[in-house]
């Protein structure tokens, strides 16, 4: 869509992963530049808008937060519909949330296909890295291999608390969405 000579894009982006990994905190940090240690688990569907102006193009990112349903470990096709990208988040302090990452990826890939037949772009977020990453997970090579084997376009160690790598992760996702269109 052209608007005031700017090309406009609207992207539906999902933020998924187990309960308590920091999905809501990441969205709040990215969109409102804020962090709080006590968000209540929202019930229902919630989304926030982030606008990126890159050169002559505007990207409106509609970030969809899972609100309470993540305890079931999967979402409906209707929820995923028309999304073009996703963050799958785990909590570096809870290995079980990393075990769940492949399950979330499989759920997404099985229920969402882009109009061109490709899978949506997905970036993996190792959140709460302010607790230390290397001591818990070792070298980065293991995660790079995991991403290649499981079809993630990239991964980042993030902290919603200390504002680490969230903008970088979003830029990476948007760039992949653009090339995937």
Residues in contact with ligand GDP, shown as a per-residue x/- string from 70 to 109 under the rule CB under 6 A: ----------------------------------------
Binding to Mg ion by CB under 5 A, coded x per residue (else -) over 11-50, reads: ------------xx--------------------------
Look at the block and give the residue holding tokens 């000579």.
5
Q: How far is the CB of 126 from ligand GDP (least distance, A)?
A: 10
Q: Cα–Cα distance between 11 and 116 in angstroms, integer?
A: 15
Q: Report in angstroms how near the CB of residue 123 gets to ligand GDP at its nearest.
A: 16
* Inter-residue contact 122 to 86 (CB < 8 Å): yes
Which residue's C-beta sits nearest to Mg ion? 24
Task: Residue 160: name its binding partner from Mg ion, ligand GDP, none (Cβ under 5 to 8 Å by kind).
Answer: ligand GDP
Structure tokens at 39: 């968000």
Here's the x/- map for ligand GDP, 15-54, by CB under 6 A: it reads as ----xxxxxxx-----------x-x-x-------------
Q: Which residues pair with 160 in a beta bridge?
A: none
CA distance 43 to 48: 15
Instruction: Report in angstroms how near the CB of residue 168 gets to ligand GDP at its nearest.
Output: 14
Which residue lies nearest ligand GDP, judged by its C-beta?
Answer: 22
Residue matched to tokens 């409906």: 76
**Binding-site residue total for ligand GDP (CB under 6 A)?**
17
Q: CA torsion sign, 109 to 112 to 113 to 118?
A: negative
Tokens found for residue 3? 């608007």
Angstrom distance (rounded) from CA 175 to CA 180: 9
Strand (E) or helix (H) holding 145: helix 141-150
- β-bridge partners, 86: 14, 122
Out of 160, 166, 170, 177, name the contact with ligand GDP by CB under 6 A.
160
Phi, psi of 85 (to 5 degrees): -160, 170
- Contacting ligand GDP within 111-130 (CB under 6 A): 127-128, 130
> What are the residues binding Mg ion (CB under 5 A)?
23-24
């Amino acid at each position: 869509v052209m608007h005031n000579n700017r090309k406009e894009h609207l992207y539906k982006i999902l933020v998924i992963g187990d309960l308590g990994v920091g999905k809501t905190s990441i969205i709040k940090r990215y969109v409102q530049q804020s962090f709080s240690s006590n968000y209540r688990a929202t019930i229902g569907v919630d989304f926030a808008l982030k606008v990126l102006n890159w050169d002559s193009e505007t990207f409106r990112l509609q970030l969809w937060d899972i609100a309470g349903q993540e305890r079931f470990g999967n979402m409906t096709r209707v929820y995923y519909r028309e999304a073009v990208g996703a963050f799958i988040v785990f909590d570096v302090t809870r290995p079980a949330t990393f075990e769940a990452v492949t399950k979330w990826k499989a759920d997404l890939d099985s229920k969402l296909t882009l109009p061109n037949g490709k899978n949506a772009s997905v970036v993996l977020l190792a959140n709460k890295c302010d607790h230390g990453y290397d001591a818990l997970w070792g070298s980065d090579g293991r995660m790079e291999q995991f991403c290649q084997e499981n079809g993630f376009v990239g991964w980042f160690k993030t902290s919603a608390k200390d504002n680490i790598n969230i903008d970088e992760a979003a830029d990476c996702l948007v760039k992949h969405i653009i090339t995937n269109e």
